[in-house]
Each structure stands twice: as C-alpha cells, then as structure tokens.
Structure 1
Amino acid sequence: MTQSFSDRPAIAFAMLPSRTQHVLPDALIQRLGAIGNVLDAAPMQRFDDARAAKLLAETEILITGWGSPTINAAALAQAPHLRLVVHAAGTVKGLLGDSLFDRGIFVSHAAQANALPVAEFTLAAIIFAGKKIFQFRDLYVADRNRKRTQPIQAEAIGNYGRTVGIIGASRIGRRVIELLSPFDYRIVLYDPMIGDAEAATLGVEKTKLDALMASADIVSLHAPSLPATRHMIDAQRLALMKDGATFINTARGALVDETALIAVLKTGRIDAIIDVTDPEIPEAASAFYDLPNVFLTPHIAGAVGLERTRLGEMAVDEAIRFIEGKPLLYEIRREDMALMA
C-alpha cells in the first residue's frame, strides 16, 4: 500500500447524525485526533455548500456513514487530496462509483461489524421459530389459559435435530453457521460459489436450492441482492417448503417474490420472520402487517443503538491502519462491487 500523507492527515466525516447516533462517540474521535487532524467532528450532510467545499479541499481521509451524500465526480473534484474513504456502515452501493476507483482512492467498510447483529437476530429467530414461540404467545394471550398451548408441546417441534437451510455463505450467512454450531441442528447450505471442501470446513452440507427448500424446517436467506438473484425465492420454491416450516429474511426484500410469499402465508402452511421487504416499508394494506403467522420487524436486524459503535470502531481501526501504512482488512476493490449486497 502506498500513500502520501501530511504528518497529521486531515480527517472529515460525512453522515446523517439522526441516523448514526453512537457510531462515533467522543472516545473514537479522540483516537483519530491522536494520529490525525480531525478537521471538524460534526459530519457533513451535503457536499454542495461552502462548509463542505472548505472541508473537502483539505480532506485526506473521509469517514462516511448512513445518510452520507453520494461521493460523485462533483464531490471528488472538491477533494484533491482524498486518499481513503471508510464507510462506517454496511453496503457502499449507491454511495460511490467508478470515478473514485479511477482516482486510485482506497475504499473500506464496516460490513463485517454490521453482520454480527444480523447473525445474532437470525440465531434468535431460528430458535424461536423452532419452538413455535409466536404461536404459543398468541394462543396463551388470547385464551388466558393453557388449554390450547399444552397439546402443541407434544408436536414435532423444538430445536433438537431440526434442519436449518442457509441460503448464501455471505459474511452474515457464515456467522449464522458459526453461531448455530453448538446446537443440535443439521445445517444445509446453498451457495453456488462454495465448493464441497469449503462446505465441509464450514461444517455444513452443500445442496441445491430446491433441495434445501424442500428439506429444511427453517430457511434463512443471506444472499446478496443482484439482478441475478431478484425473486430467487419464488412461488415454485415456496411450494417446496414443508408444512409448518419457517422462512426467515434478514437479507433484502427484492430476493423474494412477495406476492407469492403472501399467497402461501395466507394458507397458513408456513410461517415467516421478515425484517426486510420490497419496498422497504410495505404498503399500509399489506398482509405482512396482519397475518398471524408473520413476525414483521422494521429492518432492525442490523446495528441499532449501541451496536452501531462496532461500526465506528471498525472504521477508525481501518483509518489508523491506513495511516500507519498497514494493509486494510476490509478493502473494497472495483471488481468487488458487482457481487456486493
């Protein structure tokens, strides 16, 4: 890695404060200030005003986050000394384009840090799904007695010996597999990029997508949202799922044909735990809000509250590593963009 820095490289921030509380607490700003020149601890929220023009003219390292303005050619023209962009969040799609790579500017991100809470959410969802927790809750609250809940305990439910299907050995998918390893699950994986040897190393059984959909008691989706993966979970694949199975989506709504998903959910044949939808907020009349076999959350599996500090820590670590001339751990290259979520 080569870079030309001043003695104390100039550091600036670009993100929306209302969306990034806890990402960069004072202690992290102070860490940066010990090795670089923090131009202004208050992040830029736009790149087309006088303040941004002044800051960008000096900036060598830009730390971005949710709500950052797009780093387009116009913004780059104002930042002649920019050497590194570190995104203190997950995906950088929509934030930057080829013009940044054309300039030879290094890019890194904190997607690995954001993967941890998503995987934790998924683990909880899998365990709750296996024990039919939401069904127990609804019946118990509705009846104020245990006449209907006690017989369910004798059914073939619970988490012993169940088959969990993981779609996508992404950062999150791999972490979910790791978190599931102490439990008594059979884990099957679909990922066309993973070979048999790597699957064995992960401790999973590699399988075809249709076979996974048909065999799993719980299906958890962790694939990237790409043109090739749009609606990969369609009516045909949903029809393969076992009666009583649960479908979990913490990836992207566009991966699923939601019309088909709602249709099968309305039959009561399967359950769903859904954190992401397409559009991001379902229409007010969407059946997702009302179906008793759907547990819907507002895209909160990723970092919220204090979990966001992991994002800032990872971004600051990368910036310091770069200043010290060490390789970035989470560098993004131009060729990576086509396969990123």
Structure 2
Amino acid sequence: MRKAAFVLSPAVFDDVYGPSMARIRTMTEVMHEPPGPIDPADMADVRVLFSSWGAPVLDQTLLDAAPRLEIVLYAAGSVRAITTPEFWARGIPLVSAYQGNAVPVADFTLAQITLALKGAFQYALRARADRAPATLVERPGLYGSRVGLLSLGAVGRMVADRLRPFNVEVLAHDPYARSYPGVRLVGIEELFATCDVVSVHTPLLPATRGLVGRELLDSMKLGATLINTARGAVIDEHALVDVLTERPDLFAALDVTDPEPPEPGSPLFTLPNVMLTPHIAGALGGERGALGELVVDELARFLAGEPLRHALTERSAALLA
C-alpha cells in the first residue's frame, strides 16, 4: 500500500478531506495529516501527496525530501503559485480540482446575475444608506436581457449552461473559443457596450492584466452591472473607481479586487454602486468536500492504472485563473 501525506492548511483539512478519510485509508497508508507540520524525514517514503489551500511550493527542497513521490493531488483550483520548473521536469502527475471548484463559482455567479438584473443590490444598499424603503428603479429583469461572459473557461461555460433555461441572450468574448451551445461569440467591445450584465471569468495572465480598462468600462450601457469572480487585476481598478464615480448608473459586484482585500480607505468600500464580497465565490465549508472527493476519485484511477481525468500539464496549469 502506497504511503501518503497531507500538506495543507489545517483550517481547511476537515472540510476538504474529512468526508473522504475512510476511503483514503483503504487505498493508502497515511504517514501524516494536519494539524501538526510534517517532519521532512517522514517524506522519504511518501508516494502520494494530498494538498489543497495552504499547500507548500513544489520546489527542489520538497522534491528532494520526497524522492519516491508518484502523484500530487491538489483539492483546490489554480496551481500556479505552488508549481515550479523543477516540479514539471520530474514528470509527476498533478491533479487539480479546479473543475470542481468552478461549480460553486458558477452557482454564485448565476445568483449575482439574477440579483443584478432585478436591481436587488442597488435597492438593498440604498435602503440601508437611507434607513428607509428605497424607490424602485426600473430594471431589465432576467427574461429578455443580455448577459456577457468574458472568457469561456470552466466557470464561463458552467455559467452559460446555467443561463440556458432562462430567456436571456448570452454573449461571450474568448479569443480561444470557437463555439459553445447557446452562446454568441462577439468582440470584447460589443460585449461591454451591449450587455446588461458583464461577468468576468478571465484568468490572470500577463496578457490579461488590466484587460478591462477605462474605455471598455465607460462604454457599458446605461444601468449595466459588472461582476468579477475571477481575478481582481484583470480589471484596471483605478479606472473602475473613476468610471463608477462618474457614472452612478453603473454597478459593480466584486468578489475579487487588486490588491485583495482592498487597501484601507479604498473608494470601493464607500462607493454606493459597489458590492464587495471577500472572495467567497469558490468552495466554502461543506462545498469543499466535493473537491476532496474529486481528487480521491483520481487516486483510485491512478492506482487502477486508468487515465486521469483532471491532471494538468505545465501549459494547461498556466492558463488557470
């Protein structure tokens, strides 16, 4: 039986792997689990490395400490912060639960789109500020509206799927996408200028940093809403603050910012047309157990000699948000 170790934040261990521990113990001999830190000496015989949020960097030091390592199972999303050229050079399979984490992000985004098209954010914030019932403002509603998706990665496609039962027109801009059912591909300028809601799902890459700048923001139609559950730096935040200040008809629902959280005193905390949430779109609490189950399923395939379904390559990992 292969020896396994867990290296992740103790704060998320029970949520992520607790529901799967009995199954894990039938497949591996667990050498270490949180909350205590692992002794590097205990890594020598480890073949299966379980991780998630709070993972260590897979650098030369860790690889040298675990010379028998055969697979890394990462029950979270992007792995760019933990991978290194030395790791990729070893050819060790790396599984990520990014597709599992995309599910709650898509669910959260659908809820935000619905609330945005109903004007719920504006109503609630105005009523709180005035300490009185707010005047209802005419909003487009869910049916017959136009929703724009910036990128059609895992989350963008799931959001498009969730919107399909509704009577909305779904547009998307993604230079790498050819087609997707129920979605009309358009240029980024048309996306921002014509949609009632624009939802950002673009990974943060050198080419996408600051992609959404003043010109695109200022082109948004009257009363439109910008949603961002991807990465804060995809949007030029200074330009966003300026445009939201100048155009109180626009609204921004931001689950991510740049920096994150915003600096003390940031206008994002006080602008009346901004709703801030602290990066909660991804898996929380019991939702995290599904990520653990996904990577444990992959371990079962690995042990059975079957193809992995969620393994990343160096190239695919670089494209994740």
Do structure 1's residue 52 and structure 2's residue 31 form an aligned pair? no
CA contact (8 A) 1:13 1:43 kept: no
CA contact (8 A) 2:225 2:250 kept: yes
- Structure 1 residues 60, 44: closer, same or farther in 2, change over 3 A? farther
Coordinate RMSD, CA, aligned: 1.6
Do structure 1's residue 226 and structure 2's residue 205 form an aligned pair? yes
CA distance in structure 1 between the partners assigned to 2:46 and 2:291 by the alignment: 21
Give the SS at the match of 1:24: helix
Matched to 1:169, the amino acid is: L
Do structure 1's residue 90 and structure 2's residue 77 form an aligned pair? yes
**TM-score for the superposition, normalised by structure 2:** 0.95
**Offset, 1:255:** 0.2
**Offset, 1:158:** 1.2
The alignment of Structure 1 onto Structure 2 pairs a total of residues equal to 320
CA distance in structure 2 between the partners assigned to 1:167 and 1:277 by the alignment: 16
Give the aligned partner of residue 87 of structure 2.
Answer: 100
Give the aligned partner of residue 176 of structure 2.
Answer: 193
**Offset, 1:223:** 0.8
**Offset, 1:340:** 2.4
Superposed counterparts of 1:225-244, under 5 Å: 225-244=204-223
Q: Which of the residues 115, 132, 135 maps onto 1:149?
A: 135
**Offset, 1:269:** 3.0
**Offset, 1:139:** 4.0
Give the aligned partner of residue 216 of structure 1.
Answer: 195
- Structure 1 residues 43, 97: closer, same or farther in 2, change over 3 A? farther
**Offset, 1:140:** 4.0
Give the aligned partner of residue 184 of structure 2.
Answer: 205
CA distance in structure 2 between the partners assigned to 1:168 and 1:60 by the alignment: 37
Q: Which of the residues 151, 154, 159 maps onto 1:176?
A: 159
Superposed counterparts of 1:289-328, under 5 Å: 289-328=269-308
Do structure 1's residue 12 and structure 2's residue 5 form an aligned pair? yes
Q: Which of the residues 303, 307, 311 maps onto 1:331?
A: 311
CA contact (8 A) 2:119 2:139 kept: no
Give the SS at the match of 1:39: strand
CA contact (8 A) 2:13 2:34 kept: no
Give the aligned partner of residue 5 of structure 1.
Answer: none
CA distance in structure 2 between the partners assigned to 1:286 and 1:141 by the alignment: 20
Give the aligned partner of residue 37 of structure 1.
Answer: 29
**TM-score for the superposition, normalised by structure 1:** 0.90
**Offset, 1:303:** 0.7
CA contact (8 A) 2:51 2:73 kept: yes
CA distance in structure 2 between the partners assigned to 1:254 and 1:168 by the alignment: 15
Give the aligned partner of residue 160 of structure 1.
Answer: 143
**Offset, 1:20:** 4.1
**Offset, 1:43:** 6.0
CA distance in structure 1 between the partners assigned to 2:15 and 2:186 by the alignment: 40
- Structure 1 residues 339, 129: closer, same or farther in 2, change over 3 A? same
CA distance in structure 2 between the partners assigned to 1:214 and 1:78 by the alignment: 54
Give the SS at the match of 2:39: helix
CA distance in structure 2 between the partners assigned to 1:79 and 1:281 by the alignment: 35
**Offset, 1:283:** 0.7
CA contact (8 A) 2:78 2:317 kept: no
CA distance in structure 1 between the partners assigned to 2:128 and 2:81 by the alignment: 44
CA distance in structure 1 between the partners assigned to 2:287 and 2:238 by the alignment: 33
Give the SS at the match of 1:149: coil
Do structure 1's residue 263 and structure 2's residue 246 form an aligned pair? no
CA distance in structure 1 between the partners assigned to 2:123 and 2:34 by the alignment: 48
CA distance in structure 2 between the partners assigned to 1:193 and 1:215 by the alignment: 21
Q: Which of the residues 65, 81, 99 maps onto 1:112?
A: 99
Segments ≥4 residues shifted beyond 6 Å: none
CA contact (8 A) 1:13 1:44 kept: no
**Offset, 1:44:** 6.5
Q: Which has the larger radius of gyration?
A: 1
CA displacement, residues 14-55 of structure 1 (integer Å, 9 cap, x when unaligned): 101124441111x4111011122111233664xxxxx43222
Matched to 1:311, the amino acid is: L
Matched to 2:232, the amino acid is: G
Give the aligned partner of residue 254 of structure 1.
Answer: 233
CA contact (8 A) 1:21 1:305 kept: no
CA displacement, residues 115-166 of structure 1 (integer Å, 9 cap, x when unaligned): 01111110000000000002222344556665x535x3xx242111100000
Q: Which of the residues 96, 111, 116 maps onto 1:124?
A: 111
Give the aligned partner of residue 66 of structure 2.
Answer: 79
CA distance in structure 2 between the partners assigned to 1:330 and 1:104 by the alignment: 15
Give the SS at the match of 2:282: coil
Matched to 2:15, the amino acid is: H
Matched to 2:310, the amino acid is: Y
CA contact (8 A) 1:288 1:296 kept: yes
